[in-house]
Amino acid sequence: MTEPTRSPSYRFGTFELQPNERRLLAGGEPVVLGPRAFDLLIALVERPGQLVTKEELLDCVWPKLVVEENNLQVQVSALRKILGQEARAVGEHIKRLKIPVGRVLASPYCRTMETARLAFGKAQPMQEARGGPARTDDPKRYDGLRKLLASQPSPGTNTVISSHGNPFHAVAGPPYLAEGEIAVVRSQGDSAFAVVGRIRLQDWELLQ
């Protein structure tokens, strides 16, 4: 007896995207999302860490149709409203716990800048938070990110780095950070650092 084919699904933070079922779940509960916004979300989730052009997104969401770019912006805004709730929630928990935040550095790609601003109210774009520019096979590609993670924050503060899963995995090793998960890092000097903890989205409620 053959096993039934399982539909692909994508998990990020508390969300689960089920493309075949045309369903988005947040904490196990269905989220109301329009068909165009749903197609846009699929196009982005299937290209993690990639720079996707407006033309590519228009082709994915409106295939063989000529539409104005503002239609794409409307759908992007709808997604931001829904997905941004998690970033705001993390920021509120950090305020509740009175964790001092100093610099907030963010990769200038994808939605990391916006995520950082939603959570912390500020973000400084920095290429080193992403890695590069260099060839993908260059062993020094993520040296800038390593130095950032190993840098001592200003006294009495914590530095926040908003980056992507692949660069962090490259410098810190497995497992991959889940969407919305935070790694707590301690500097050990000379471009060295240690991951001393990980906080998942669902863990914040348990912290006092």
Does any domain span residue 65? Answer: yes
Does any domain span residue 3? Answer: no
Does any domain span residue 54? Answer: yes
Distance (Å, whole) CA 169 – CA 195: 12
Q: In this structure, are 101 and 39 located in the same domain?
A: no
Q: In this structure, are 101 and 74 located in the same domain?
A: no
Does the pLDDT at position 4 exceed 50? no
Confidence of residue 195 (pLDDT cuts 50, 70, 90): very high
Better-predicted residue by pLDDT, 84 or 199: 199
Q: In this structure, are 197 and 101 located in the same domain?
A: yes
Better-predicted residue by pLDDT, 50 or 96: 96
Q: Hey, what are 31's tokens?
A: 């989220």
34-37 long-range Cβ contacts below 8 angstroms, 24+ apart? 34/75, 34/78, 36/61, 36/62, 36/71, 36/75, 37/75, 37/78, 37/79
Distance (Å, whole) CA 168 – CA 160: 13
Does the pLDDT at position 100 exceed 90? yes
Q: Between the ranges 68-77, 106-115, 128-137, where is the mean pLDDT highest?
A: 68-77
Confidence of residue 173 (pLDDT cuts 50, 70, 90): very high
Does any domain span residue 161? Answer: yes
Does any domain span residue 2? Answer: no
Confidence of residue 1 (pLDDT cuts 50, 70, 90): very low
Better-predicted residue by pLDDT, 110 or 160: 160
Which of 34, 68, 85 is where one domain is finished? 85
Confidence of residue 7 (pLDDT cuts 50, 70, 90): low
Which CATH number does the domain housing residue 63 bear? 1.10.10.10
Q: State the average pLDDT over residues 96-111.
A: 91
Distance (Å, whole) CA 123 – CA 40: 25
Does the pLDDT at position 53 exceed 50? yes
* Averaged pLDDT score across all residues of the chain: 87
Q: In this structure, are 33 and 18 located in the same domain?
A: yes
Q: In this structure, are 80 and 109 located in the same domain?
A: no
Q: State the average pLDDT over residues 88-117.
A: 90
Does any domain span residue 4? Answer: no
Q: Between the ranges 78-87, 108-117, 121-130, where is the mean pLDDT highest?
A: 121-130
The total number of structural domains in the chain stands at: 2
Q: In this structure, are 61 and 97 located in the same domain?
A: no
What are the φ and ψ backbone dihedral angles of 89, each rounded to 5 degrees? -65, -40
Q: In this structure, are 194 and 123 located in the same domain?
A: yes
Q: State the average pLDDT over residues 165-191.
A: 88
Question: What is the span of the domain harbouring residue 142?
Answer: 87-206
Q: In this structure, are 144 and 97 located in the same domain?
A: yes
Q: DSSP secondary structure string, the chain? A: -PPPPPPP-EEETTEEEETTTTEEEETTEE----HHHHHHHHHHHTSTT----HHHHHHHHSTT----HHHHHHHHHHHHHHHHHHHHHHHHHHHHTT--EEEEEE-SSTTHHHHHHHHHS--EE-GGGT--SS-TT-TTTTHHHHHHHHSPPPTT-EEEEE--HHHHHHHH-SSPPPTT-EEEEEEEETTEEEEEEEE-GGGGGG--
Which of 44, 64, 85 is where one domain is finished? 85
Q: In this structure, are 35 and 45 located in the same domain?
A: yes
* pTM (two decimals): 0.67
Q: Are 177 and 198 in contact (CB under 8 A)?
A: yes
Q: In this structure, are 40 and 68 located in the same domain?
A: yes
Which CATH number does the domain housing residue 181 bear? 3.40.50.1240
Q: In this structure, are 91 and 185 located in the same domain?
A: yes
Does the pLDDT at position 8 exceed 50? yes
